[in-house]
């Protein structure tokens, strides 16, 4: 399986499928590149080179104790892009991955990244603070940390309910999709999973969003129970220079079903513009 070793000795797994303009996909917490399998095939089938990596500590990458923070995630991504020498690149990030690709593009992507797409992404900042009074209380994330430490396996099973909107009337998410979320979650190193909670909730991406000079598609479901749209996409769109906001009525945080189908077509359309 293809792997790349970063300058600090961390081995990153990635999948690389198709030929053409490169598109790199970054997954959410606590998942892996497997979360993007449908999109990887869609992109490859439509003439693109689709690359998706497992973030350090996640999936088949090294089970790291150190470096589980957004600056290091972005640096890892920069090293992978340089290793593969990707240019005219489109980066796509879901949830935590949205923060990763925004920081990477702002701080490392000049001359390589042409477009950015985020889906249910955490920027500008999730946790409430003096500069982000509308964010979620720190106690929410303390609860996630406690759940992961107490019984990660059960926590991931329970999390799929809100993640996929399975608690909503008429929900169509399958048990298989929920089981696959659990499967991917169980591959993450506990220390990496724990530290990543701080990374995705407390990192302030405000200046990164302001620094973007390339077009960005900000996609978000308006029934996202994990990363509420009011504190995320609806704020982020006001911070970027060349942004397009796409709101999916009734869509949850998890990419599944009708949301996945529509999003896939929107991704193809945005890349081809």
Q: How far is CA 14 from the centre of its chain?
A: 15
Please list the pLDDT of the chain residue by residue as tens digits (273 residues).
699 999 999 999 999 999 999 999 999 999 999 999 999 999 999 999 999 999 999 999 999 999 999 999 999 999 999 999 999 999 999 999 999 999 999 999 999 999 999 999 999 999 998 889 889 999 999 999 999 999 999 999 999 999 999 999 999 999 999 999 999 999 999 999 999 999 999 999 999 999 999 999 999 999 999 999 999 999 999 999 999 999 999 999 999 999 999 999 999 999 999
Active site residues: 95, 224, 253
Edge-first strand order for the sheet with 89-94 is 3-5, 11-17, 48-53, 21-26, 89-94, 113-119, 216-221, 243-248
Taking the C-alpha atoms of residue 228 and residue 152, their distance in angstroms, rounded to an integer, is: 23
Q: What is the pLDDT of residue 4?
A: 96
Lookup: tokens for 46: 């439509």
- Answer whether 35's CB lies under 8 Å from 256's CB: no
Domain range for residue 110?
A: 3-272
How many domains does the chain divide into? 1
| Main-chain phi, psi angles of 166, to 5 degrees | -65, -15
- Answer whether 188's CB lies under 8 Å from 58's CB: yes
Task: Check which CATH number belongs to the domain holding 25 and give it.
Answer: 3.40.50.1820
Lookup: tokens for 202: 């407390």
Using alpha carbons only, how large is the chain's radius of gyration in Å?
17
SS3 120: coil
Q: 265: how many CB neighbours lie within 10 A of its CB?
A: 10
**Which residue has 């060349």 as its token pair?**
242
Q: What is the pLDDT of residue 119?
A: 98
Lookup: tokens for 113: 């990244």
Which stretches does DSSP call E strand in 43-88?
Answer: 48-53
Pairing of strands 21-26, 48-53: parallel
Q: What is the pLDDT of residue 247?
A: 98
Q: 240: how many CB neighbours lie within 10 A of its CB?
A: 24
Question: What are the DSSP calls for 21-53, one per residue?
Answer: EEEEEE--TT--GGGGHHHHHHHHHTTEEEEEE
Q: What is the pLDDT of residue 131?
A: 86
């Amino acid at each position: 399986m293809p792997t790349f070793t970063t300058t600090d000795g961390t081995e990153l797994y990635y999948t690389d499928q198709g030929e053409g303009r490169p598109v790199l996909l970054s997954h959410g917490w606590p998942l892996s590149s497997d979360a993007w399998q449908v999109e990887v095939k869609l992109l490859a089938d439509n003439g693109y080179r689709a690359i998706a990596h497992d973030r350090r500590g996640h999936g088949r990458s090294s089970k790291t104790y150190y470096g589980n923070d957004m600056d290091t995630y972005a640096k890892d991504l920069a090293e992978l892009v340089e290793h593969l020498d990707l240019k005219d690149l489109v980066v796509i990030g879901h949830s935590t991955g949205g923060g990763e690709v925004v920081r990477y593009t702002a701080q490392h992507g000049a001359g390589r990244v042409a477009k950015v797409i985020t889906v249910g992404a955490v920027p500008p900042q999730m946790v409430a603070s003096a500069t982000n009074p509308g964010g979620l209380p720190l106690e929410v994330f303390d609860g996630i940390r406690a759940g992961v430490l107490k019984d990660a396996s059960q926590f991931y099973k329970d999390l799929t309910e809100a993640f996929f909107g399975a608690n909503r009337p008429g929900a169509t998410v399958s048990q298989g999709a929920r089981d696959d979320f659990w499967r991917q979650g169980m591959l993450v190193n506990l220390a990496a999973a724990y530290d990543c909670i701080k990374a995705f909730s407390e990192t302030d991406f405000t200046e990164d969003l302001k620094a973007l000079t390339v077009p960005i598609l900000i996609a978000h479901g308006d029934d996202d129970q994990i990363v509420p749209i009011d504190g995320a996409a609806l704020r982020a769109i006001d911070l970027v220079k060349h942004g397009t906001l796409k709101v999916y009525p009734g869509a949850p945080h998890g990419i599944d079903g009708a949301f996945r189908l529509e999003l896939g077509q929107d991704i193809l359309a945005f890349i081809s513009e």
